[in-house]
């Protein structure tokens, strides 16, 4: 007869969890991301927020070109805030048609192709 052992917790709580604040479309969200699993915690956090609103078309009707992300622990330090290119976030979330609409809007209004721009940039530092 086989002996049955009770299930044991085999995974330890990650010490690499980071709390990220994401600001999109005037909404502020707090997302926990494991930095050992995700290469870019800011892109991952912003993608999760977009996925959360996937079925709320009013969220996408007023989508902005740029979002903002930062670690909650670094909220006071503007040099650690990042601008997020929403085209890349929408593509990452699988919302291809919404991403392409945003891209066309940016091309028409600002003469900028969001596909060619980086997915994120430091909001507190100037390149000049």
Instruction: Give pLDDT tens digits for 6-43.
Output: 555 545 555 789 999 999 988 999 999 999 999 999 99
Q: Determine the Cα–Cα distance for residues 81 and 45; give it in Å rounded to an integer.
A: 13
Instruction: Report how far apart, in Å, the C-alpha atoms of 86 and of each of 15, 120, 122 are.
Output: 29, 9, 15
| DSSP sequence for 71-103 | EGGGTT-GGGEEEEEHHHHHHHTT-HHHHHHHH
The string of pLDDT tens digits covering residues 92-118 is 999 999 999 999 999 999 999 999 999
Q: Determine the Cα–Cα distance for residues 77 and 125; give it in Å rounded to an integer.
A: 11
What residues does 21 pair with on adjacent strands? 30, 70
Domain extents in the chain: 17-122
Is there a contact between 88 and 67 (Cβ–Cβ < 8 Å)?
A: no
Strands 81-85 and 66-71, sheet pairing: antiparallel
The model's pTM? 0.82
Instruction: Tell me which residue of 8, 5, 24 sits closest to 89, measured CA to CA.
Output: 24
């Amino acid at each position: 007869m086989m002996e049955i052992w009770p299930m044991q917790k085999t995974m330890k709580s990650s010490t690499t969890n980071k709390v990220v604040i994401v600001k999109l479309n005037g909404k502020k969200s707090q997302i926990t991301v494991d930095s050992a699993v995700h290469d870019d915690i800011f892109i991952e956090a912003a993608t999760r927020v977009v996925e959360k609103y996937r079925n709320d078309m009013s969220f996408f009707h007023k989508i902005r070109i740029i979002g903002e992300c930062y670690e909650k622990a670094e909220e006071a330090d503007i040099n650690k805030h990042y601008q997020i290119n929403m085209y890349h976030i929408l593509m990452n979330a699988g919302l291809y048609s919404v991403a392409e609409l945003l891209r066309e809007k940016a091309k028409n209004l600002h003469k900028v192709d969001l596909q060619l721009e980086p997915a994120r940039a430091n909001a507190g530092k100037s390149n000049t």
